[in-house]
């Protein structure tokens, strides 16, 4: 059978198409689960919105308006069709468009995740590189112990420890991050300090450990062993030879760390009463504001899928072997 070379751009095109399709399927599945979960919440949505004094006629009218009597799959596909056309619906609690309710909260959450990433990634990647350089030293063991300790601690526990130590005992920062994000650097620092520190502590352990593992796996290759035989120092080998070849997994680790930060933001925002998307989602569950809950879940799923796509895409660009067509491809 004759073989033909595929153009260099085809692997990238195939990657984008396949990942886009899988991302769309993931979004459909996640949003369907969120829709089913909100529908299974105990109690009657119409009664929760109108109160105990609502008349049967008012309750029935609201149920018809919200299409609560329709089959669940019809309600879901109707909602998803509206989302594809840019319509997130109207908040059941406030009567405002959901997009207006979500936008400021989404900006606050993105700001929190961005600031946390700016501190977390240099610390975690630098720590992983240092641990690989001084493998099996006291420094490496200390980092390994603290990483395991922080990995075992839930996010809410880290938050409460920080509140007790830095707010209650030391009085350096407020225990609740509810001040408006305006008025100069000072208010920003007070609002973001404890939530950012909590996210850095939660995320750095996993990232540092994976960075160390990625570099050590490159160090076990033949060309690295040959460099060691030639007498090149370990630090020079890691920085000039191992690190560039470990760039692909480190990029994936970094992007996925940011994606997991978006998930951890939900717990951290609740602990510190930070006015972000995660707190809005939890509050909306309490108020039975289902349209806001579904929109929040959609945004979290969309961000996570997009970050996973970006991680895989950057890893492919950083590794030329993933862009080379397989031999024998027709």
Crossing angle (nearest 10°) for helices 185-219 and 138-152: 120
User: What is the b/e burial string over 94-115, where b = at least 16 CB atoms within 10 angstroms of the residue's CB?
Assistant: eeeebeebbeebbebbebbbeb
Residue 247 near residue 315 (C-beta atoms within 8 A)? no
pLDDT digits (tens, 9 = 90+) for 180-207: 555 556 667 777 888 888 888 887 877 8
Give the whole-number percent of the chain exceeding pLDDT 70.
78
Find out whether 123 and 205 touch, Cβ atoms under 8 Å. no
Which pairs from 230-234 meet CB under 8 Å and 24+ separation?
234/133
Q: How far apart are CA 145 and CA 7, in angstroms?
A: 48
Fold classification of 9-41+88-323 (topology level):
MetI-like fold (1.10.3720)
CA angle 29, 35, 41 (to 5 degrees): 135
Q: Residue 329 has what pLDDT? A: 45
Using a pLDDT cut of 90, give the percent of the chain over it.
0
Any idea which residue has 């769309």 for tokens?
24
Question: What confidence score (pLDDT) does residue 328 get?
Answer: 45
Which pLDDT belongs to residue 164?
A: 82
Q: What is the pLDDT of residue 139?
A: 82
Q: Structural domain boundaries of the chain?
A: 9-41+88-323
pLDDT band at 46 (very low <50, low <70, confident <90, very high): low
pLDDT digits (tens, 9 = 90+) for 141-171: 888 788 778 777 777 788 888 888 887 887 7
pTM above 0.85, yes or no: no
pLDDT tier, 54 (very low <50, low <70, confident <90, very high otherwise): low
**What is d(CA 202, CA 175) in angstroms, rounded to the nearest whole number?**
18
Residue corresponding to tokens 């973001």 = 192
């Amino acid at each position: 059978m004759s073989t033909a070379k595929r153009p260099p751009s085809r692997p990238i095109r195939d990657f984008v198409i396949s990942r886009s399709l899988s991302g769309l399927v993931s979004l459909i599945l996640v949003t369907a689960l969120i829709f089913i979960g909100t529908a299974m919440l105990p109690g009657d949505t119409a009664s929760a919105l109108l109160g105990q004094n609502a008349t049967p006629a008012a309750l029935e009218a609201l149920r018809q308006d919200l299409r609560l009597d329709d089959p669940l799959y019809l309600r879901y596909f109707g909602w998803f069709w509206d989302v594809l056309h840019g319509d997130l619906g109207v908040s059941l609690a406030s009567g405002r468009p959901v997009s207006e309710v979500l936008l400021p909260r989404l900006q606050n959450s993105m700001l929190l995740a961005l600031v946390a990433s700016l501190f977390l990634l240099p610390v975690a990647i630098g720590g992983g590189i240092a641990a690989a350089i001084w493998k099996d030293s006291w420094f490496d063991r200390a980092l390994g112990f603290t990483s395991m300790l922080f990995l075992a601690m839930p996010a809410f526990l880290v938050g409460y420890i920080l509140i007790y130590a830095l707010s209650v005992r030391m009085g350096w920062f407020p225990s609740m991050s509810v001040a408006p994000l305006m008025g100069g650097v000072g208010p920003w620092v007070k609002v973001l300090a404890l939530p950012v520190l909590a996210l850095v502590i939660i995320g750095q352990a996993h990232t540092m450990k994976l960075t160390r593992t990625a570099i050590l796996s490159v160090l076990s290759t033949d060309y690295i062993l040959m460099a060691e035989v030639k007498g090149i120092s370990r630090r020079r080998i890691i920085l000039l030879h191992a690190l560039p070849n470990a760039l692909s997994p480190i990029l994936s680790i970094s992007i996925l760390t940011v994606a997991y930060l978006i998930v951890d933001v939900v717990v951290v925002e609740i602990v510190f009463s930070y006015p972000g998307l995660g707190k809005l989602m939890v509050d909306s569950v309490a108020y039975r504001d289902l349209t806001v809950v579904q929109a929040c879940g959609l945004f979290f799923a969309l961000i996570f899928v997009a970050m996973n796509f970006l991680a895989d895409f950057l890893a492919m660009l950083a590794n030329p072997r993933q862009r080379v067509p397989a031999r024998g491809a027709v």
